[in-house]
Homo-oligomer: A and B are copies of this chain.
Amino acid sequence: MAVPDGPGIRELELFRDMTDEHFVTLMRGAYVQNFPPQIELITEGEPSDFLHIVLSGAVDLFAGWNGRETSMATVRPISTFILAATIRDAPYLMSARTLEKSRIALIPSEDVRAIFAADSAFARAIVAELAQCYRSVIKAQKDIKLRTSLERLANFLLRQQKRASGGAEFDLPFEKRRLASVLGMTPENLSRAFKGLQPYGIEVDGTRIRIRDQALLERFAKPSPLIDDHAS
């Protein structure tokens, strides 16, 4: 049916190897929607009705407790989120909101679970994806338990630099306010952390970052593939 992004989705590792028949079945119940920024797509605690796929834009996964709130991750195209809740048919552990205007595909969780049971290529792809997600969270956990906020920021900048093609200058991918939350600190503290990295050659102008001395920063940040590598 009318899922114009069907082809794009089909290329995702998650759907690449499943049978055409199953893919079509999945897409039949799916729909694609455009959302403005700052729309809450799902709320933690609710039952997982749809597997979500970010086709364009960006989505913030966050969680709250007792009046506090924290950013857990940012989902960028093209990837899925809340796969684990969908598979287990369990309530969402995180809420999600659009950061920018975003195009999101929604696939009924029930369909995902049905095809998952019937299509072993799909099941295997889900395993790969889940294992990947799991390892990402473990890395995040290590980051927060083993590093100070200054070290987290330094390593974040190195990761971001790599993602932005590796040059000495690049832009932050989102507001500092959110970056602070992602890194587990307050906005005020982030401001100070940026100043704290000046001695290591960091220059900040708005969202523009410049790394004056790569080696110096790396000597301070001590990035580790077991925490900072995004692949694997």
Residues of A within 8 A of B (CB): 44-45, 63-66, 68-70, 72, 83-85, 87-88, 90-91, 93-94, 116-117, 120, 123-124, 126-128, 130-135, 137-142, 144-147, 151, 184, 222, 224-227, 232
Across the interface, do B124 and A117 meet the contact criterion of CB distance under 8 Å?
Answer: yes
Across the interface, do A45 and B130 meet the contact criterion of CB distance under 8 Å?
Answer: no
Instruction: Give A126 Cβ to nearest chain B Cβ, in Å.
Output: 5
Closest chain B residue, CB of each to CB of A224 = B65
Across the interface, do A45 and B93 meet the contact criterion of CB distance under 8 Å?
Answer: no
Q: Which B residues lie within 8 Å of A144 (CB)?
A: 141, 144-145
Across the interface, do B94 and A138 meet the contact criterion of CB distance under 8 Å?
Answer: yes
Q: Out of B66, B84, B132, B137, which one reaches A146, CB within 8 Å? A: B66
**How distant is the Cα of A165 from the Cα of B116 in the complex, in angstroms?**
36
Q: Out of B64, B126, B137, B147, which one reaches A127, CB within 8 Å? A: B126
Q: Which B residues lie within 8 Å of A137 (CB)?
A: 134, 137-138, 141
Closest chain B residue, CB of each to CB of A65 = B146
**How distant is the Cα of A144 from the Cα of B147 in the complex, in angstroms?**
13
Q: Which B residues lie within 8 Å of A70 (CB)?
A: 142, 145-146
Instruction: Give A182 Cβ to nearest chain B Cβ, in Å.
Output: 10
Across the interface, do B127 and A232 meet the contact criterion of CB distance under 8 Å?
Answer: no
Across the interface, do A90 and B135 meet the contact criterion of CB distance under 8 Å?
Answer: yes
Across the interface, do B131 and A222 meet the contact criterion of CB distance under 8 Å?
Answer: no
Instruction: Give A221 Cβ to nearest chain B Cβ, in Å.
Output: 10
**How distant is the Cα of A40 from the Cα of B50 in the complex, in angstroms?**
42
A-B complex: 10 closest residue pairs judged by Cβ atoms:
A120-B120, A84-B131, A65-B146, A130-B130, A137-B137, A70-B145, A134-B134, A87-B131, A84-B134, A90-B232
Q: Which B residues lie within 8 Å of A68 (CB)?
A: 146
Q: Which B residues lie within 8 Å of A145 (CB)?
A: 63, 70, 72, 144, 184
